[in-house]
Chains A and B, each alone.
Chain A
Amino acid sequence: MKATHSDRRSTLRLAGPVLLLAMLMQSPECPAQHSLFKALREQPGTERAFYFYPSTLRMINLTKNPDFNELISGIEKLVIYRFDSAQNQALDLNLFRDSLFGCAFEEWMSVQTEDMDIQVFGLDRRRRSPEMIAIVRTGGDLMMADLLGIINPVRLPELIRNFNSADYLNVFDPEAAKNTADGKTD
């Protein structure tokens, strides 16, 4: 049965808003997401924010383990935020998650154990590097990570099996990092 002239006009009327909605959902820039982390950085109680780039990530690898360098080879930028307990309790994570969904992020991974809760949200953009945001709760501590790029999983099982914390610079503990740099071990 052929579509009538009025059917085609109805379809065209509907197409406009649908296309507009599709364009908004595919918007490459999402101001809300950037302002989320900006607001987090400016909150009193954001204990520390750590910025990593390919060169600084390689510097953490004290033994120059090639598997670790391969793991991080696809990462363009990694920012880690640590929150103190007061801000941890004040932070509305549900609102943060809703904002991520509003920016077209999807939940890609979740891990829940007795004392740890990890959620990873991802955004795969066609002509740009993918981005992942992880929310990590361990006990009363809260940490978030914003990763631009990809982690290469091929060597990950080997790295986990052979992991030795002394092989990596502990940037989260300045005292331990200094001891490592000075050649002191536990």
Chain B
Amino acid sequence: MKRIAIALIVLMASLQAFAQNDVISSLFEQYNDNPNFTKVSISSKMFELFTKIDASDPDDKALLDAIGKLKGLKVIAADSVADSRRVYQDAVNRIQKKNYSELMSVKDGKEDMLFMIREKGNIIEELVMVAGGHKSFMVLSLYGEIDLSSISKLSKSMNVKGMEQLQKLDDKPKKK
């Protein structure tokens, strides 16, 4: 009886984790079979590997520590999407209906970008970036244990177009 109870708790916990980011998963599934989309997926094992690296530079060590706490990265992107503005707005609407808070938005006429986070207590569990341009569209989901102060360093290391906007977070006044 005790084993069944433990198994049920584990199963429910895993379902709960799945439910929290099901809108992102559904977005990836929607475009997964479309050959025009670039798909990138990196698992926690890859990130954990970097915790084995010895770094003498304190900045490098801090970056590797931040990377080591990540649980995964998923990106889906296309350079030529029919009706990309509508696709972008649809993705934003779907994500905004769920438990995500806006972190930053950028509109420069050519491309719109929206950064959202999902928090649990003081920990950011997921960072989502949605970008839509004249013909382009991208959704990026970075999840794990993300420290707001390390987001700027992480965005620099990701080398993903658009993520450099997060470096502006360093310029924002910190909340008291």
Contact = CB atoms under 8 A, between A and B. Distances in A.
B52 A154 contact: no
A140 interface: no
A109 B74 CA distance: 10
Interface in B124-164: 156-159
A114 B48 contact: no
A74 B52 CA distance: 10
Nearest to B160: A157
A4 to B, nearest CB: 13
B141 to A, nearest CB: 15
Interface stretch (B14-22, B60-68, B103-111): B60-68
The prevalent SS among residues of A at the interface is mixed
Interface residues of A, number: 22
A109 B53 contact: no
B52 A130 contact: yes
Interface string A33-45: 0000000000000
B53 A74 contact: yes
Contacts of A47: none
Contact of A108 (B42, B52, B55, B67): B42
Interface string A139-181: 0000000000010111011001100000000000000000000
B64 A109 contact: no
B136 to A, nearest CB: 14
Interface stretch (B5-13, B33-41, B92-100): B33-41
Interface in A101-116: 106-114
A69 B43 CA distance: 26
Indicate the size class of the contact surface on chain B: 20 to 34
A157 B156 CA distance: 8
Nearest to A110: B41
B82 interface: no
B27 interface: no
B38 A153 contact: no
Contact of A130 (B38, B40, B42, B49): B49
Nearest to A130: B49
A111 B39 CA distance: 6
B63 A113 contact: no
Interface string B83-125: 0000000000000000000000000000000000000000000
Contacts of B48: 124
Contacts of B159: 156-157, 160-161
A41 to B, nearest CB: 26
A153 B36 contact: no
A153 B156 CA distance: 12
Contacts of B36: 114
B49 A152 contact: no
Interface string A112-126: 111000001010100
Contact of A114 (B35, B45, B157): B35
Given A150-B52, A153-B157, A108 B38 contact: no
B80 to A, nearest CB: 10
B48 to A, nearest CB: 7
9 contacts: A108-B42, A108-B46, A130-B52, A150-B52, A153-B157, A154-B64, A154-B157, A157-B158, A160-B159
Interface of B: 35-36, 38-43, 45-46, 48-50, 52-53, 55, 60, 63-64, 67, 156-159
The 5 closest A-B pairs by CB, nearest first: A157-B159, A108-B46, A113-B38, A112-B39, A109-B42
